[in-house]
Amino acid sequence: MANSQLNIRNSQSVELGRRRKKLSNLLYSQKIAPYFFVFPFLLSFAIFFAYPVYSTVVMSFQEVLPGQVTFIGLKNYQELLNPIFFKSLQNSTVYTALTLLVLIPIPLILAVFLNSKIMVAKNFFRSVTFIPALTSVVVAGIIFRLIFGGQEGALLNSFIGVFGIEPKAWLNNSTLSMFALVVLATWKWMGINLLYFLAGLQNIPKELYEAADVDGASTWKKFTNVTVPLLKPITIYVFTISIYGGYSMFAESYMLYGSNNSPNNMGLTIVGYLYRNGIEQNNLGFGSAVGITLLVVTFVITMIQLSLSGMFKKEG
Protein backbone atom coordinates (compact mmCIF):
# COMPACT_ATOMS: atom_id res chain seq x y z
CA MET A 1 0.00 0.00 0.00
CA ALA A 2 2.78 2.38 0.96
CA ASN A 3 4.66 1.55 -2.25
CA SER A 4 1.64 2.29 -4.40
CA GLN A 5 1.10 5.65 -2.71
CA LEU A 6 4.79 6.43 -3.18
CA ASN A 7 4.56 5.54 -6.87
CA ILE A 8 1.50 7.78 -7.28
CA ARG A 9 3.34 10.69 -5.64
CA ASN A 10 6.39 10.11 -7.82
CA SER A 11 4.27 10.04 -10.96
CA GLN A 12 2.50 13.23 -9.88
CA SER A 13 5.83 14.91 -9.24
CA VAL A 14 7.12 13.79 -12.64
CA GLU A 15 3.95 15.06 -14.33
CA LEU A 16 4.18 18.39 -12.49
CA GLY A 17 7.83 18.69 -13.50
CA ARG A 18 6.93 18.03 -17.13
CA ARG A 19 4.21 20.69 -17.03
CA ARG A 20 6.58 23.25 -15.51
CA LYS A 21 9.23 22.43 -18.09
CA LYS A 22 6.67 22.69 -20.87
CA LEU A 23 5.47 26.07 -19.57
CA SER A 24 9.05 27.27 -19.21
CA ASN A 25 9.88 26.18 -22.76
CA LEU A 26 6.73 27.95 -23.96
CA LEU A 27 7.62 31.24 -22.25
CA TYR A 28 11.23 31.14 -23.44
CA SER A 29 10.35 30.07 -26.96
CA GLN A 30 11.72 32.40 -29.61
CA LYS A 31 8.33 32.34 -31.34
CA ILE A 32 6.10 32.84 -28.30
CA ALA A 33 8.23 35.17 -26.15
CA PRO A 34 7.88 38.26 -28.38
CA TYR A 35 4.08 37.97 -28.30
CA PHE A 36 4.19 37.52 -24.53
CA PHE A 37 6.07 40.80 -24.05
CA VAL A 38 4.00 42.68 -26.64
CA PHE A 39 0.69 41.49 -25.19
CA PRO A 40 0.41 44.25 -22.49
CA PHE A 41 0.76 46.94 -25.19
CA LEU A 42 -1.76 45.21 -27.46
CA LEU A 43 -4.21 44.91 -24.58
CA SER A 44 -3.90 48.57 -23.59
CA PHE A 45 -4.07 49.63 -27.25
CA ALA A 46 -7.28 47.65 -27.73
CA ILE A 47 -8.91 48.97 -24.56
CA PHE A 48 -7.84 52.61 -24.66
CA PHE A 49 -7.64 53.30 -28.42
CA ALA A 50 -9.12 50.69 -30.75
CA TYR A 51 -12.39 50.19 -28.84
CA PRO A 52 -12.98 53.93 -28.20
CA VAL A 53 -12.34 54.69 -31.88
CA TYR A 54 -14.73 51.93 -32.92
CA SER A 55 -17.37 53.21 -30.51
CA THR A 56 -16.91 56.77 -31.75
CA VAL A 57 -17.27 55.68 -35.38
CA VAL A 58 -20.52 53.88 -34.56
CA MET A 59 -21.79 56.82 -32.51
CA SER A 60 -21.04 59.26 -35.34
CA PHE A 61 -23.85 57.61 -37.32
CA GLN A 62 -26.31 57.91 -34.45
CA GLU A 63 -28.37 60.50 -32.63
CA VAL A 64 -27.54 59.97 -28.99
CA LEU A 65 -30.09 61.29 -26.50
CA PRO A 66 -30.54 60.40 -22.81
CA GLY A 67 -32.00 56.89 -22.85
CA GLN A 68 -32.43 56.86 -26.62
CA VAL A 69 -30.06 56.04 -29.48
CA THR A 70 -31.25 56.36 -33.08
CA PHE A 71 -29.35 55.45 -36.25
CA ILE A 72 -29.42 58.44 -38.63
CA GLY A 73 -26.80 57.48 -41.23
CA LEU A 74 -24.67 60.29 -42.63
CA LYS A 75 -26.79 63.12 -41.23
CA ASN A 76 -24.13 64.14 -38.67
CA TYR A 77 -21.47 64.35 -41.38
CA GLN A 78 -23.82 66.32 -43.64
CA GLU A 79 -24.46 68.83 -40.85
CA LEU A 80 -20.70 69.05 -40.37
CA LEU A 81 -20.40 71.00 -43.62
CA ASN A 82 -21.13 74.40 -42.09
CA PRO A 83 -19.21 77.71 -41.82
CA ILE A 84 -18.41 77.30 -38.12
CA PHE A 85 -16.74 73.94 -38.67
CA PHE A 86 -14.68 75.27 -41.58
CA LYS A 87 -13.72 78.26 -39.42
CA SER A 88 -12.49 75.94 -36.68
CA LEU A 89 -10.61 73.82 -39.25
CA GLN A 90 -8.98 76.94 -40.68
CA ASN A 91 -7.97 78.18 -37.22
CA SER A 92 -6.44 74.82 -36.29
CA THR A 93 -4.59 74.55 -39.61
CA VAL A 94 -3.16 78.08 -39.43
CA TYR A 95 -2.18 77.56 -35.80
CA THR A 96 -0.47 74.25 -36.59
CA ALA A 97 1.42 75.71 -39.56
CA LEU A 98 2.66 78.72 -37.57
CA THR A 99 3.76 76.61 -34.62
CA LEU A 100 5.67 74.31 -36.98
CA LEU A 101 7.49 77.33 -38.44
CA VAL A 102 8.50 78.40 -34.93
CA LEU A 103 8.83 75.23 -32.86
CA ILE A 104 11.07 73.31 -35.27
CA PRO A 105 13.92 75.64 -36.34
CA ILE A 106 14.24 77.72 -33.16
CA PRO A 107 14.60 74.79 -30.72
CA LEU A 108 17.02 73.16 -33.17
CA ILE A 109 19.25 76.24 -33.26
CA LEU A 110 19.05 76.72 -29.50
CA ALA A 111 19.92 73.06 -28.97
CA VAL A 112 23.04 73.47 -31.11
CA PHE A 113 24.11 76.47 -29.04
CA LEU A 114 23.43 74.68 -25.74
CA ASN A 115 25.41 71.68 -26.97
CA SER A 116 28.39 73.78 -28.00
CA LYS A 117 31.66 73.55 -26.07
CA ILE A 118 31.98 77.34 -25.80
CA MET A 119 28.53 77.75 -24.24
CA VAL A 120 28.67 78.71 -20.56
CA ALA A 121 26.03 77.92 -17.91
CA LYS A 122 24.52 75.18 -20.06
CA ASN A 123 22.55 73.55 -17.26
CA PHE A 124 21.08 76.88 -16.20
CA PHE A 125 19.80 77.73 -19.66
CA ARG A 126 18.50 74.20 -20.19
CA SER A 127 16.52 74.45 -16.96
CA VAL A 128 15.19 77.91 -17.81
CA THR A 129 13.94 76.82 -21.23
CA PHE A 130 12.29 73.68 -19.84
CA ILE A 131 10.50 75.25 -16.84
CA PRO A 132 7.54 76.56 -18.93
CA ALA A 133 6.75 72.98 -20.00
CA LEU A 134 6.14 72.15 -16.32
CA THR A 135 3.66 75.00 -15.95
CA SER A 136 -0.04 74.17 -16.06
CA VAL A 137 -1.83 75.23 -19.23
CA VAL A 138 -4.52 76.76 -17.02
CA VAL A 139 -2.03 78.98 -15.22
CA ALA A 140 -0.21 79.87 -18.45
CA GLY A 141 -3.48 80.76 -20.19
CA ILE A 142 -4.57 83.08 -17.38
CA ILE A 143 -1.17 84.80 -17.32
CA PHE A 144 -1.14 85.33 -21.07
CA ARG A 145 -4.73 86.60 -20.96
CA LEU A 146 -3.52 89.32 -18.62
CA ILE A 147 -0.46 90.02 -20.79
CA PHE A 148 -2.54 90.34 -23.96
CA GLY A 149 -5.37 92.23 -22.32
CA GLY A 150 -7.07 94.98 -24.34
CA GLN A 151 -6.81 97.54 -21.56
CA GLU A 152 -4.30 100.34 -21.87
CA GLY A 153 -2.63 99.25 -18.67
CA ALA A 154 -2.14 95.63 -19.79
CA LEU A 155 1.47 94.51 -19.82
CA LEU A 156 1.97 94.25 -23.59
CA ASN A 157 0.06 97.48 -24.31
CA SER A 158 2.16 99.26 -21.69
CA PHE A 159 5.30 97.94 -23.37
CA ILE A 160 4.37 99.05 -26.90
CA GLY A 161 3.16 102.36 -25.48
CA VAL A 162 6.79 103.17 -24.67
CA PHE A 163 7.43 103.24 -28.42
CA GLY A 164 4.42 105.42 -29.12
CA ILE A 165 2.19 102.61 -30.41
CA GLU A 166 -1.48 102.77 -29.55
CA PRO A 167 -3.01 100.00 -27.38
CA LYS A 168 -4.25 96.95 -29.26
CA ALA A 169 -7.29 94.78 -28.65
CA TRP A 170 -5.16 91.65 -28.98
CA LEU A 171 -7.88 89.08 -28.40
CA ASN A 172 -10.54 90.83 -30.50
CA ASN A 173 -8.60 90.74 -33.75
CA SER A 174 -8.18 87.48 -35.69
CA THR A 175 -4.55 88.12 -36.66
CA LEU A 176 -3.46 89.41 -33.26
CA SER A 177 -5.30 86.63 -31.41
CA MET A 178 -3.53 84.01 -33.52
CA PHE A 179 -0.26 85.75 -32.70
CA ALA A 180 -1.10 85.48 -29.00
CA LEU A 181 -1.85 81.75 -29.33
CA VAL A 182 1.42 81.10 -31.16
CA VAL A 183 3.40 83.06 -28.57
CA LEU A 184 1.75 81.03 -25.80
CA ALA A 185 2.55 77.76 -27.61
CA THR A 186 6.15 78.87 -28.20
CA TRP A 187 6.65 79.74 -24.55
CA LYS A 188 4.99 76.55 -23.34
CA TRP A 189 6.46 73.91 -25.66
CA MET A 190 9.85 75.29 -26.70
CA GLY A 191 11.62 73.39 -23.92
CA ILE A 192 10.12 70.03 -24.91
CA ASN A 193 11.31 70.21 -28.52
CA LEU A 194 14.65 71.60 -27.34
CA LEU A 195 15.06 68.53 -25.14
CA TYR A 196 14.41 66.20 -28.09
CA PHE A 197 17.02 67.92 -30.24
CA LEU A 198 19.55 67.94 -27.40
CA ALA A 199 19.08 64.19 -27.00
CA GLY A 200 19.65 63.74 -30.73
CA LEU A 201 22.80 65.85 -30.68
CA GLN A 202 24.28 63.66 -27.93
CA ASN A 203 24.13 60.68 -30.29
CA ILE A 204 26.09 62.33 -33.12
CA PRO A 205 29.70 61.00 -33.01
CA LYS A 206 32.20 63.74 -32.22
CA GLU A 207 34.60 62.17 -34.71
CA LEU A 208 32.44 63.51 -37.54
CA TYR A 209 32.89 67.07 -36.35
CA GLU A 210 36.61 66.49 -35.86
CA ALA A 211 36.88 65.15 -39.40
CA ALA A 212 34.97 68.19 -40.66
CA ASP A 213 37.43 70.46 -38.83
CA VAL A 214 40.32 68.66 -40.48
CA ASP A 215 38.71 69.25 -43.87
CA GLY A 216 38.39 72.94 -43.04
CA ALA A 217 34.60 73.01 -42.90
CA SER A 218 33.01 76.15 -41.53
CA THR A 219 30.49 76.16 -38.70
CA TRP A 220 27.63 76.55 -41.18
CA LYS A 221 28.92 73.65 -43.28
CA LYS A 222 29.12 71.41 -40.23
CA PHE A 223 25.58 72.40 -39.28
CA THR A 224 24.08 71.77 -42.73
CA ASN A 225 26.17 68.71 -43.71
CA VAL A 226 26.56 66.92 -40.38
CA THR A 227 24.08 68.13 -37.75
CA VAL A 228 20.91 68.53 -39.79
CA PRO A 229 21.16 65.22 -41.75
CA LEU A 230 21.92 63.17 -38.65
CA LEU A 231 19.06 64.81 -36.76
CA LYS A 232 16.56 63.84 -39.45
CA PRO A 233 14.86 61.06 -37.40
CA ILE A 234 14.44 63.40 -34.42
CA THR A 235 13.22 66.22 -36.67
CA ILE A 236 10.61 63.96 -38.27
CA TYR A 237 9.45 62.83 -34.84
CA VAL A 238 9.18 66.40 -33.52
CA PHE A 239 7.40 67.42 -36.73
CA THR A 240 4.90 64.59 -36.32
CA ILE A 241 4.03 65.24 -32.68
CA SER A 242 3.84 68.98 -33.41
CA ILE A 243 1.20 68.33 -36.08
CA TYR A 244 -0.80 66.29 -33.61
CA GLY A 245 -0.31 68.90 -30.88
CA GLY A 246 -1.39 71.72 -33.18
CA TYR A 247 -4.63 70.09 -34.29
CA SER A 248 -5.46 68.88 -30.77
CA MET A 249 -4.99 72.31 -29.18
CA PHE A 250 -7.92 73.31 -27.00
CA ALA A 251 -6.96 74.26 -23.45
CA GLU A 252 -4.71 77.14 -24.52
CA SER A 253 -7.49 78.82 -26.50
CA TYR A 254 -10.08 78.10 -23.83
CA MET A 255 -8.00 79.67 -21.07
CA LEU A 256 -6.81 82.60 -23.19
CA TYR A 257 -10.41 83.67 -23.85
CA GLY A 258 -11.80 82.44 -20.54
CA SER A 259 -14.35 80.27 -22.35
CA ASN A 260 -14.98 78.34 -25.55
CA ASN A 261 -16.75 81.32 -27.11
CA SER A 262 -14.32 83.78 -28.69
CA PRO A 263 -15.37 86.85 -30.73
CA ASN A 264 -16.46 85.70 -34.21
CA ASN A 265 -15.05 82.25 -33.31
CA MET A 266 -11.53 83.54 -34.02
CA GLY A 267 -10.12 81.29 -31.31
CA LEU A 268 -12.30 78.26 -32.00
CA THR A 269 -10.38 75.07 -32.84
CA ILE A 270 -11.63 71.70 -34.06
CA VAL A 271 -11.38 70.24 -30.56
CA GLY A 272 -13.18 73.32 -29.24
CA TYR A 273 -15.93 72.73 -31.79
CA LEU A 274 -16.12 69.09 -30.68
CA TYR A 275 -16.35 70.18 -27.03
CA ARG A 276 -19.02 72.78 -27.83
CA ASN A 277 -21.29 70.28 -29.56
CA GLY A 278 -20.47 67.04 -27.79
CA ILE A 279 -20.19 68.29 -24.19
CA GLU A 280 -21.77 71.73 -23.88
CA GLN A 281 -24.76 70.94 -26.13
CA ASN A 282 -24.82 67.22 -25.23
CA ASN A 283 -24.89 66.21 -28.91
CA LEU A 284 -22.62 63.20 -28.66
CA GLY A 285 -23.41 61.87 -32.13
CA PHE A 286 -22.42 65.09 -33.86
CA GLY A 287 -19.41 65.47 -31.56
CA SER A 288 -18.30 61.97 -32.54
CA ALA A 289 -18.49 62.94 -36.22
CA VAL A 290 -16.27 65.95 -35.49
CA GLY A 291 -13.79 63.71 -33.66
CA ILE A 292 -13.61 61.16 -36.47
CA THR A 293 -13.11 63.95 -39.00
CA LEU A 294 -10.28 65.34 -36.89
CA LEU A 295 -8.71 61.86 -36.70
CA VAL A 296 -8.87 61.48 -40.49
CA VAL A 297 -7.43 64.97 -41.10
CA THR A 298 -4.47 64.46 -38.77
CA PHE A 299 -3.85 60.96 -40.11
CA VAL A 300 -3.80 62.11 -43.75
CA ILE A 301 -1.54 65.09 -43.03
CA THR A 302 0.83 62.93 -40.98
CA MET A 303 1.03 60.29 -43.71
CA ILE A 304 1.76 62.96 -46.32
CA GLN A 305 4.45 64.47 -44.11
CA LEU A 306 6.08 61.09 -43.45
CA SER A 307 5.94 60.22 -47.15
CA LEU A 308 7.57 63.52 -48.18
CA SER A 309 10.28 63.03 -45.55
CA GLY A 310 11.20 59.65 -47.07
CA MET A 311 10.15 57.48 -44.13
CA PHE A 312 8.43 54.95 -46.41
CA LYS A 313 11.27 54.62 -48.90
CA LYS A 314 13.19 51.36 -48.90
CA GLU A 315 16.91 51.68 -48.33
CA GLY A 316 18.99 50.18 -51.07
Is residue 39 one of the residues assigned to a domain? yes
Of the ranges 27-31, 193-197, 264-268, which one carries the lowest mean pLDDT score?
A: 27-31
Is residue 178 one of the residues assigned to a domain? yes
The answer to whether residue 312 scores a pLDDT higher than 80 is no
Is residue 315 one of the residues assigned to a domain? no
pLDDT of 150: 83
- Mean pLDDT along residues 42-61: 91
Same-domain pairing of 188 and 123: yes
Per the CB < 8 A criterion, the answer to whether 127 and 195 are in contact is: no
Same-domain pairing of 85 and 196: yes
Residue ending a domain, among 22, 39, 71, is 71
Is residue 51 one of the residues assigned to a domain? yes
Q: Which tens digits make up the pLDDT trace of 207-222?
A: 888 888 888 888 888 8
Percent of the chain residues topping a pLDDT of 90: 37
Same-domain pairing of 239 and 97: yes
Is residue 316 one of the residues assigned to a domain? no
Is residue 314 one of the residues assigned to a domain? no
Same-domain pairing of 20 and 115: no
Same-domain pairing of 22 and 111: no
pLDDT of 294: 92
Same-domain pairing of 57 and 181: no
The answer to whether residue 259 scores a pLDDT higher than 90 is no
- Mean pLDDT along residues 24-47: 77
pLDDT of 263: 87
pLDDT of 101: 94
Same-domain pairing of 148 and 266: yes
Residue ending a domain, among 46, 71, 96, is 71
d(CA 57, CA 285): 9
Same-domain pairing of 176 and 62: no
Same-domain pairing of 89 and 213: yes
- Mean pLDDT along residues 173-177: 88
Where in the sequence is the domain holding 294, given as residue range(s)? 75-308
Report the domain count for the chain: 2
Q: Which tens digits make up the pLDDT trace of 289-302?
A: 999 999 999 999 98
pLDDT of 15: 60
pLDDT of 151: 84
Same-domain pairing of 241 and 143: yes
pLDDT of 9: 59
Same-domain pairing of 11 and 149: no
The CATH number assigned to the domain holding 235 equals 1.10.3720.10
Please state the pTM of the whole predicted model: 0.84
pLDDT of 12: 58
Is residue 14 one of the residues assigned to a domain? yes
Residue ending a domain, among 23, 50, 71, is 71
